[in-house]
Structure 1
Amino acid sequence: MASASTNDIEFRSVTKNYGPVIAVTDINLNVPKGAFLALLGPSGCGKTTCLRMIGGFEQPSEGTVLIDGREMNGVPAYRRPVNMVFQHYALFPHFDVRQNVAYGLKQMRPKLAAAEIDRRVTEALEMVRLGGFAKRRIHEMSGGQQQRVALARAIVNRPSVLLLDEPLAALDKKLRSAMQIELQTLQRELGITFVLVTHDQEEALSMADIVCVMSAGRIRQLGSPQEVYDRPADLFVADFVGKTNRVKATMEADGATLRLADGSAIAAGNRASVSTGEAIVAIRPESIRLSRMQAPDIASFKGRVTHRIFLGSSAEYAVTVPGLGDFLVTADRRSMNESDLVEPGEAVYLGFDPGAAHVFSASSAA
């Protein structure tokens, strides 16, 4: 008998081995009902293995996977309340849109009535805004439309969980941005749990309400997009999620002062995870203020611009500071005092609020 659960998905001490290779190690994870979870990490981190264990394509070597409070170990994929949208959609080219969406319903036992199949297919196509495309052939559809056909085919069976294996990877940037919004909207309308696998940080942060950052088969941080970006748990997360500048430093005995490599000192702020010894200061590019003039009210470092990337409303600068190394700085043009862009070769001053920096032990450097 299924037990009541507030979670759609649970991993309890899950480990997966492929012979001598350990893909994931001791994963504990709870995904609430109706959540949009992104499994984020570099290639080989274990995120796809976790997705496949939810879907039933792989079984855990140790531990337990539960869906809606029911243990899924040993339960085949076709008996799980889960559907999956693959990266390349896996649509049937010889079927039209309606036939593709109806295929899974026609395999159900006991059989559904033809009228029920027709009603549910029509409903699914309307949900993904393809109501007028039922008779269209797959090769006549754009990439974004094909993705929506794959989504309709996945949701028509009314799964408890929808798995998305990098479904936007084949789309161009503009279409990918549009589909991110559509997926968020669809998830809210359906109210079912989505699990997205991606190595794209922007995709994870913009779409999910829970982000699970993984590395080497382990969870490094689990939290909201804002928590993961603004309060990274360790140096790996700070480096992998977004862009980060690293500055070598030493935490002095008072636990409140950082001595930088050029001999200057700054306050440690309130985000230090090391009490003394060798440290790494991690600072986001957008947290650094770039100016041609030295500000009198903030500690600043003089450097020289080596490269500039124009991004429209903002610009990215590579700045070399003697004794400290290279910095990446994102400057919002609308907030700069200067109306023109800084040119490569110009001398500039960099400053930042110590409270915006994170301080980690140097031994944790990835």
Structure 2
Amino acid sequence: MASAHPNDIEFRSVTKAYGAVTAVRNINLAVPKGSFLALLGPSGCGKTTCLRMIGGFEQPSEGSVLIDGREMNGVPAYRRPVNMVFQHYALFPHFNVEQNVAYGLKQMRPRIDAREIDRRVQEALSMVRLDGFGKRRTHEMSGGQQQRVALARAIVNRPSVLLLDEPLAALDKKLRSAMQIELQTLQRELGITFVLVTHDQEEALSMADQVCVMSAGRIRQLGSPQEVYDRPADLFVADFVGKINRLNGRLEPGGQMLRLADGTALATSGEHSLPAGPVIAALRPEAIRLSRQETGPNGLRGTVTHRIFLGSGVEYAVTVAGLGDFLVTADRGQGSEADLAAPGDAVTLSFDPAAVHLFSPSEAA
């Protein structure tokens, strides 16, 4: 009978310390059933420690970890309804694909009938699009196929939660993109909770329905990919998730005008709670419009110093006197080749007031 508990995973005031080093600090987190959560952050932020506490490979120093409403403190990994896919897959090289996938089922007690094991192995291989590969040795398979074997081995036990520890890190860019789609499809088909650990912002934003950005053992923001990218909670999130241009300035009384270091006045949306005084403005490269023409409000004149061809887009480095360098990303579909600016061209950078995110200078630490 399915549990009525709404969350598959909960952290209640969880802290994890290794001697004098605190890896995770007082984390509270709820992961609803059937969701795809990405734990995102730089190395040493605590994301892998959180994953290992869910899996039972580490125990919290303080607080409680719950799975399906049941406290897991002290419960060993093999007694939790959780499976993990490791970064390097950890496949048995002396087993073929079927033997690798069946291994966990054969360890279960009471024992499962051999015909049932074979049925579930074939079902798992079909889910990851590896029908007909059961007799292959893993060393005869590509990196993407090996990753699918690891996934089949993880889902064959029908866990409540699947943990993914940077599973795409060893793949090339094209295969990684394909496997992102495969994982999303698999998660929807299985309907179980996925928790992904990654330091790759693009990977987290493209795959997960909830992104948890971490830094120094704390959660900085938890929200949908769109919320985290478009409405960052603080300067760290804005800077880590995607790219930004930073501008130092002063917010004038009333909060509707930002005065930059060179004296330029820029309009703001006014949708902030900051008092008048020093602020840091963050502006996404794709929110800036680049033109050779003089434009109206919120326009900065500069000179193109570099142009980088990216295939579907173009990235410009533009120097604005008194303010420094700006990164601008332009979609090639918006104009012809003749419209592209070249190094040395004088251009105007303009943007909507709503695209400017304002933060307190204290958040820059």
Structure 1 length normalisation: TM-score? 0.97
Shift of 1:352: 0.7
Counterparts of 1:151-230 in structure 2, within 5 Å, are 151-230=151-230
SS at match of 1:316: strand
Alignment: residue pair count? 364
Aligned-partner Cα distance in 1 for 2:245–2:255 = 22
Which whole-Å CA distance do the structure 2 matches of 1:347 and 1:354 have between them? 23
Q: Which amino acid aligns with 1:60?
A: P
Alignment RMSD, CA only? Answer: 1.2
Deviation digits for residues 176-228 of structure 1, max 9, x if unmatched? 00000000000000000000000000000000000000000000000000000
Alignment partner, residue 108 of structure 1: 108
5 Å matches for 1:256-295? 256-295=256-295
Rounded to whole Å, the distance in 1 between the matches of 2:77 and 2:276 is: 51
TM-score normalised by length of structure 2: 0.98
Q: Look up the match of 1:298.
A: 297
Conserved in 2, the CA contact under 8 Å of 1:257 and 1:266?
A: yes
Specify the alignment match of 2:66 in structure 1: 66
Counting aligned pairs with the same residue, the percent is: 79
Aligned to 2:21: 21
Q: Which amino acid aligns with 1:117?
A: I
Q: In structure 2, how many angstroms separate the alpha carbons of the residues matched to 1:336 and 1:361?
A: 37
Residues 259-268 or 59-68, more deviating: 259-268
Q: CA deviation at 1:333?
A: 1.8
The code of the aligned residue for 2:102 comes to A
- 1:136 equivalent in structure 2: 136
Partner of 1:331: 330
1:253, CA displacement in angstroms? 2.0
**Residue 315 (structure 2) aligns with:** 316
Distance 1:99 1:337 in 2: 56
SS in 1 for 2:338: coil
Q: State whether residues 271 and 358 of structure 1, in contact with CA within 8 Å, keep that contact through their aligned partners in structure 2.
A: no
Listed as ranges, the matches of 1:114-125 within 5 Å are 114-125=114-125
The one-letter amino acid of 2:37's match is L
Alpha-carbon shift at residue 273 of structure 1 (Å): 4.2
**Quick one: which amino acid aligns to residue 53 of structure 1?**
M
Kindly state the Cα deviation for residue 353 of structure 1 after the two structures are TM-superposed: 0.7
Structure 2 residue runs of 5 or longer lacking an equivalent are none
* Cα separation, partners in 2 of 1:279 and 1:338, compared to 1, 3 Å: farther
* SS in structure 1 of the partner of residue 333 of structure 2: helix
In the alignment, the residues of structure 2 paired with residue 111 and residue 142 of structure 1 have an alpha-carbon distance, to the nearest angstrom, of 33
Alpha-carbon offset, residue 337 of structure 1:
7.1
Measured in 1, the distance between the counterparts of 2:309 and 2:64 equals 50
Give the C-alpha shift of residue 344 in structure 1: 1.2
CA contact (8 A) 1:333 1:339 kept: no
Structure-2 separation of matches of 1:273 and 1:118: 61
Counterparts of 1:100 and 1:273 in 2: how far apart (Å)? 56
Partner of 2:56: 56
Structure 2: distance between partners of 1:356 and 1:182: 33
TM alignment of 1:69-108, pairs within 5 A: 69-108=69-108
- The residue identity in structure 1 corresponding to 2:247 is V
Distance 1:222 1:231 in 2: 11
CA distance in 1, matches of 2:270, 2:62: 39
What is the letter of the counterpart of residue 163 of structure 2? L
Q: How far apart are 1:335 and its partner, in Å? A: 1.6
Aligned-partner SS, 1:339:
helix
Structure 1, gaps ≥5 residues long: none
